[in-house]
Amino acid sequence: MAVRGGGAADAPDWLIALPESDPELKKWLAAFGQALERLGWSENRNVHLDYRFTPAGAHARDLAKELLALQPDVVLAFSTPATAAFQQETRTVPIVFIGIADAVGQGLVPSLTHPRGNLTGLTMYEASVSGKWLEMLREIEPQLARAAFVLNPKTAPYYDFYMRGAKSAGPSLGIEPVLSPIENDATDIEHAITAFAHATPKGGLVVPGDSTTNAHRDLIVSLAARHRLPAVYTNEFFVTAGGLMSYGVDWVNEFGQAAFYVDRILRGANPRELPVQAATKFVTALNVKTAKALGLAVPPGLLVAADKVIE
């Protein structure tokens, strides 16, 4: 999204790695708009918003150029591909990012507390979150031996960030984490998950945040069900779509927090003066219906810990 200055109106621009029609995205953008309004900015009155959508990072750089040509006062980027596209195109226009796993490791900022350049925003996790996902799999399937981390290295270049955490936590849980790379292609995704399922009698899936897996959520959920693989996702919308369970950031809260960065920048703050903020609100979701279909007994502790339960 871009926020452009023009007469009485300032303007932000959004570049979002999800389809425009995504029902979850609509809720997140509504939260952003409501938070912005509480801070004194109202669309069509004193702020103008432009949006572009890049499912699985498609044409991200071209869309970033298109938005920057509108001369925005600040741009917002959701996902690593979207943020990287803006970073390649401008070193002056303020960029607020959301949905970044490893901002320092990806070279977006040199430090979370001192961003220094024209980028700042919100990060999702520490690497230890991988251990949390493995613990959830172990809890619901005590015999689990291997867990495939399903992601696209091109749209999730931070994958080693998650794998480091998984390899650290895996031995104590008796789970071997393995990388199962995919491409932005339904046939390739089906092949990767099917191959893992056939090679691993007691296996499970971990699906970290990735614009490719987000775009193919229905396919991944259906493949997990077909091969009877317990799976944990980072995004709640996978569970709503029939996935087993998830643990991840509250995106409604994250998009609302992004409005505070936009407000500060529109009022004259420099991005280099605004520390990158770590996520503070997380959501655990559990689909009991899916657990029953997989023949899994839901442990009481996991049920109690769930913020959202689908019966």
Same domain assignment for residues 105 and 118: yes
* Same domain flag for 135 and 242: yes
- What pLDDT, on the 0 to 100 scale, is given for residue 240? 95
How would you label 117-126 residue by residue, b for 16+ Cβ within 10 Å and e otherwise?
Answer: bbbbbbbbbe
* 140 and 121 together in one domain: no
Q: Does residue 273 contact residue 295 with C-beta atoms inside 8 Å?
A: no
Confidence of residue 43 (pLDDT cuts 50, 70, 90): confident
Number of domains in the chain: 2
CATH of the domain at 212: 3.40.50.2300
**What per-residue string of b and e applies to 252-283 under the rule 16 or more CB within 10 Å gives b?**
bbbbbbbbbbbbbbbeeeebeebebbebeebb
The full length of the chain comes to: 311
Sheet hosting strand 231-233, strand order edge to edge: 176-181, 146-151, 203-207, 231-233, 245-249, 282-287, 308-310
78-110 residue pLDDT tens: 999 999 999 999 999 999 999 998 899 889 999
Q: Is 260 in the same domain as 214?
A: no
Residues 233, 113 within the same domain:
no
Confidence of residue 57 (pLDDT cuts 50, 70, 90): confident
13 Rama class: left (phi>0) / alpha (psi -120 to 50) / beta: beta
- How far is Cα 46 from Cα 44, in angstroms, rounded to an integer? 6
**In angstroms, what CA-CA distances link 2 with 36, 68, 97?**
14, 8, 12
What pTM, to 2 d.p., does this model score? 0.90
Are 15 and 162 within one domain?
A: no
- Whether residues 243 and 255 fall in one domain: no
The verdict on 200 and 59 lying in the same domain is no
CA distances 199 to 131, 133, 192, 204, 213, Å, are 23, 21, 11, 12, 22
pLDDT at 287: 98
Q: Is the pLDDT of residue 155 over 70?
A: yes
> φ, ψ for residue 99 (rounded to 5)?
75, 35
Site of tokens 């996520």:
279
Q: Are residues 74 and 17 in the same domain?
A: yes
pLDDT given at position 17: 87
Residues 107 and 139 in one domain: no
Same domain flag for 305 and 174: yes
177-198 pLDDT, tens digit per residue, is: 999 999 999 999 999 999 999 9
User: At CB < 8 A and 24+ separation, what contacts does 36-45 make?
Assistant: 36/259, 36/262, 36/263, 38/259, 39/259, 39/260, 39/263, 40/263, 41/10, 41/259, 41/262, 41/263, 41/266, 44/9, 45/8, 45/9
Query: In this predicted structure, what is the pLDDT of residue 254?
Result: 96
At 47, the amino acid letter reads: V
What is the span of the domain harbouring residue 27?
2-125+250-280
Q: Model confidence over 193-234: pLDDT tens digits? A: 999 999 999 999 999 989 899 989 999 999 999 999 999 999
Same domain, 117 and 263: yes
